[in-house]
Amino acid sequence: MTDAFSIQWRDLLETLLNRGASAGADLVEVFMERTDHLGLLAEQDLITSVNPSFARGAGLRVFLDGRDGFVSTNDLSSAGLTRALDQALAMLGLSPERLSNARGFEGLRPLTDHGLSKDTWLDRCPSMSDASETLLKGTIQLERLGQHLQVRRGSYARDWQEVMVAASDGTFARDIRLHQSTGLSVLAADGDHRSSVGRRYGSTDQPDDLRNWDTEASASEVCESAGRMLRADYVDAGQMPAVLANRFGGVIFHEACGHLLETTQIERGTTPFADKVGESIAHPAVTAIDEGLSGGAFGSLSMDDEGMEPERTVLIENGVLKRFISDRAGELRTGHKRTGSGRRQSHAFAAASRMRNTYIDAGPHTPEELIGSVDRGLYCKAMGGGSVGPTGQFNFSVEEGYLIENGALTKPVKGATLIGDAKEVMPRISMCANDLELAAGFCGSVSGSVFVTVGQPHIKVDSITVGGR
């Protein structure tokens, strides 16, 4: 059998699926992958870490009466895959040696090959030498444009993946994915003053993305932010209105609310929105979308990890909850129709309902109108890290913030943290601007870390708790 995935795998996969179905499984699924990863880290003016890795393997999942068994293996031989399948069957008390209530398997459909036009992508990506040169160009630009910089870092990652999915419902599909991400970060220090700023950029399905990276523009953005925050005063804590900038500002919606709209949260009993479809859960100004279709966006895909093509899913429309993000298991166990959102980090994980490109949609206002409507509050230009509780409680640091006074931005402030609860904050998002933008990110959950996009236009939150000094 060839290493590459092609129609040549059909006979073996059909044999496996027929074996599982004949043992009494409701559904059998095989997910196979090959990966090629390259990671680079630049510190100051040197490449300090080079991390190449390669992998191949399969994950086999069996469903019976709402339960599932999952086994992964790096052995893609007929014997290795059969052994893994039998182990998954045994988890549910099934055995190929004891046929019981055999489900009919009618064979795989013709191969849907999303990877046909993508077979040259890996060869077209920059070499390690070219990627290193570009990354060092970025750290040199940081030195040229920044002041009081103690640390300059740049990172690059290239992730290539070939996948094939086959299931006993006839699903038979192949795809090739390519994700590239770059990041620049600095630590500035002057006496007792400190500021730490970083930015990440990423794309999917664009082999020339690193070659087209404007290192000077990215370095300028990082250095300007670090310079403004270096001597900024600390913000006073309190309850106040806040305006959150577009792009990565959407991380709060992703973390605090988006996860609560995945069917895995219904299965766990951890979402307060489980029985709220058709009800208002947000301000009428809010429409939220999850989709896998935006060209080049980090969370876009031609098919999910269960072989289903993506769609545009309106989660919230004018404040009303419309849909949940669902995968195969979510549809089976909760009744919410699949949305092409079954995703996993690798063959070592079973797929689960996961976000793709998730964002609050654009509204009718300008960012200036949002800021002008605030007498005294906080403008959050860039968000940092944070944490989220299982039912939507969150706190996120503000990496770059400014006071709003009498409808205008005034002095920079640091040390701010936004604290809240999804079900309380969503009804307070009263204005959305017309400048929707997306930003690349990574999301960790039950099926591992996956590539996602967060996003929003500028939004106004009428009242939120701001932690500070």
Q: What is the pLDDT of residue 168?
A: 97
What does the pLDDT look like over 289-331, one tens digit per residue?
A: 999 999 999 999 999 999 999 999 999 999 999 999 999 999 9
Confidence of residue 87 (pLDDT cuts 50, 70, 90): very high
Percent residues over pLDDT 70 in the chain: 99
pLDDT for 4: 87
Q: In which domain, by residue range, is 410 found? A: 238-467
> How many domains, in total, are found in the chain?
3
CB neighbour burial string for 156-177, b if at least 16 within 10 angstroms, e if fewer: bbbbbbbbbbbbbbebbbbbbb
322-333 confidence digits (pLDDT tens): 999 999 999 999
Same domain, 141 and 244: no
CA 426, chain centre distance (Å): 21
pLDDT at 100 over 80: no
The pTM of this model reads: 0.95
Q: Are residues 323 and 433 in the same domain?
A: yes
Q: 430 and 321, same structural domain?
A: yes
- The pLDDT mean for the chain works out to 96
pLDDT-based confidence at residue 104 (cuts at 50, 70, 90)? confident
Residue at 47 is within a domain: no
3-state SS, 354-370, equals CCCEEEECCCCECHHHH
Where b means 16+ CB within 10 Å and e means fewer, 46-71 reads: ebeeeeeeeebbbbbbbbbeeebbbb
> Do 245 and 224 sit in the same domain of this protein?
no
pLDDT at 387: 86
Q: Are residues 245 and 274 in the same domain?
A: yes
Given 187, 216, 232, the domain boundary residue is 232
322 lies in the same domain as 449: yes
In a domain, 458, yes or no: yes
106 and 158 belong to one structural domain: no
Average pLDDT over residues 420-433: 96
For residue 101, pLDDT over 60 is answered with no
Cα–Cα distance, 111 to 7 (Å, whole number): 7
Question: Are 89 and 159 part of one and the same domain?
Answer: no
393-405/429-432 β-pairing: unpaired
Same domain, 380 and 400: yes
For residues 396 and 457, membership in a common domain is answered with yes
Tokens describing residue 7: 């129609």
Give residue 102's pLDDT: 55
**Where residue 215 sits, what CATH number does that domain have?**
3.30.160
**Domain for residue 43, yes or no?**
no
